[in-house]
Copies of this chain bind each other. A is one copy, B any other.
Amino acid sequence: MFNSIEESPLYQIANPKSIVFFGASNSISAMGTNLLMSLQTAGFEGAVYPVHLKEEKVLGLNAYRSVLDLPEVPDLAVIVLPTKIVNQALEECGRKGIRKAAIVSGGFKEVGGSGVALEEDLKEIAGRYGIRVLGPNCLGVANLHHKLNTTFIPYEGPGGFIGLASQSGSFVTQIFDYLSKLGLGFSTAFSVGNEMDIDLIDSMEYLAACPNTKVIALYIEGIKRGRAFMETARSIVPHKPIVALYVGGSETGKRAGFSHTGALAGPDDLYSGMFRQSGVIRAQSVTELFDFCWVLGSLPKPEGPRVVIQTHSGGPGAAAADSCGRAGLELPALSDDTVEKLTPFVPHTGSINNPVDLTFSKNPDDFYSNIPQVLIKEKKADMLLIYFFTPSKVLERALKQMGLSEEEIMDQAPKFMDHQCSSVARLLETDNKPIIGYTFRSLQEPSIRGLTDRGIPVFPGPERAARAIAALVKYASFDTRKLDW
């Protein structure tokens, strides 16, 4: 580990002031062109120097015949050239004095045969010049806080709090939109490719020191430095949670992973043990990876595994109770005090148990404010899980019946919903207990977005919510039980 983030070999790769770009042209059919377009879309503010043998301009930027012609020594080289000329380009970067490179080109170790020797040669060149290399066979880096994106898919959104180190470039670039729809984003995401030099562990160290990163996500097909991984993880976990998805454990996953980055996979339980012993929380799918990051990065630590569920519908309440049970969470009975305080708000067809079920609620204030305010104070519960279901249509129907005009409805409905959402979100600040939602509606509806944008994770379905809560509980238990998970 290093003392300051600037000491990380990834610092200039994630925060370059200037970039030389190999492999972009004015033709969209070249992959490099797409990557340079992504960089432009992100609004990168530093100098960008495309190298091209023939063109005067590449995507509107002045092009150079050779990296040796550049007016300065750029912080970073991004190389997206055909395999056979990559090594020569790196050699020239070295001669220019460049000391950081992201090599996107594939065709090295991962394809076997002559690719293995080619990567050995590339490594020798990097070593000779002291160039620290991300890749080859990667998609580089995205740091939207620095308006940097060297990956395939353009993205204009803001940066978020999830730091990713990934042995798949797709899980950087093809996930921007997915996260954005949850109201999330990457702090910085590294595609490590073949890990010829910089690897997953270097990336973890960078992300541990990165002030924008609240939680670290790992996509793993195979770890090469097992002991270093565990030591690094153990040093990070006490102050920043790590979630890992490992896909190489099954026979089929192993085969697919090998042909992808050439990383060697091990048996599933070996990795499980390694994660457990180093305090890393394991996800079983990409969905879970980011679900877990969501709660770990945005909610306070719960004191225990006790959940109180609030619903206005029996089925969703029972399904949530079932999901919580399966995820190893507890549903305590409510205190007499809580029951007494809730009585005025729950009709006789409802149920003041856990789940608290209003059945049919006439007053949204009960659901969004009066009841959560009581439940958050329940001493026997550590967290609040709420079923949200307020389609705009239903709200508009109610306002229409109240005699409001179409215009007034369009004006009032969003404000009303916003007020309800902020009532719930305020409890996060006042009571410092996790609040999690679930729904079967689109997460893009204003009534849901009003919650997620205020830091309350809302999951599509109770099973995802329950498993995410269980991950949060697991991480919270770290403090007391140390690394003996």
Contact = CB atoms under 8 A, between A and B. Distances in A.
A392 B354 CA distance: 45
Contact of A321 (B169, B255, B397, B463): B255
Contacts of A317: 256, 260
Contacts of A255: 321, 331, 353-354
Interface string A19-33: 000000001110101
A461 interface: yes
Contact of A331 (B166, B252, B362, B394): B252
Contacts of A259: 314, 351, 353, 357
Given A256-B317, A285-B463, A398-B28, A441 B168 contact: no
Given A177-B442, A256-B317, A321-B252, A461 B285 contact: yes
A313 B152 CA distance: 11
Interface string A276-318: 0000000011110000000000000000000001000111111
Interface residues of A, number: 88
A357 B389 CA distance: 41
Interface stretch (A120-128, A205-213, A242-250, A406-414): A242-250
Contacts of A159: none
A348 B285 contact: no
Interface in A137-180: 137, 153-154, 166-171, 174-175, 177-178
A171 B315 contact: yes
A252 B440 contact: no
A323 interface: yes
Given A170-B315, A285-B461, A286-B319, A397 B37 contact: yes
Q: Which residue, of A107, A247, A348, has the highest number of chain B Cβ atoms within 10 A?
A: A247
A177 B460 CA distance: 13
A53 interface: no
A441 B325 contact: no
Interface string A180-198: 0100000000000000000
B253 A318 contact: yes
Interface in A311-339: 313-326, 330-331
B261 A107 contact: no
Contacts of A250: 321-322, 325-326
Contact of A219 (B37, B315, B331, B462): B315
Nearest to A181: B442
A4 interface: no
B286 A318 contact: no
Contacts of A284: 326, 463
23 contacts: A28-B402, A29-B362, A83-B349, A153-B391, A153-B393, A154-B393, A154-B397, A168-B318, A170-B313, A171-B315, A174-B389, A245-B319, A252-B321, A252-B325, A253-B319, A253-B322, A255-B353, A255-B354, A257-B321, A260-B314, A260-B317, A260-B351, A286-B462
| 3 A-B pairs with the lowest CB-CB distances in the bound complex, closest first | A168-B315, A250-B325, A253-B322
Interface of A: 27-29, 31, 33-34, 37, 83, 106-107, 111, 137, 153-154, 166-171, 174-175, 177-178, 181, 219, 221, 245, 247-253, 255-257, 259-261, 284-287, 309, 313-326, 330-331, 348-349, 351, 353-355, 357, 359-360, 362, 389, 391, 393-394, 397-398, 401-402, 440-442, 460-464
Given A111-B348, A286-B463, 12 more contacts: A106-B349, A153-B393, A171-B315, A177-B441, A248-B318, A249-B322, A255-B321, A255-B353, A256-B317, A259-B353, A260-B314, A261-B314
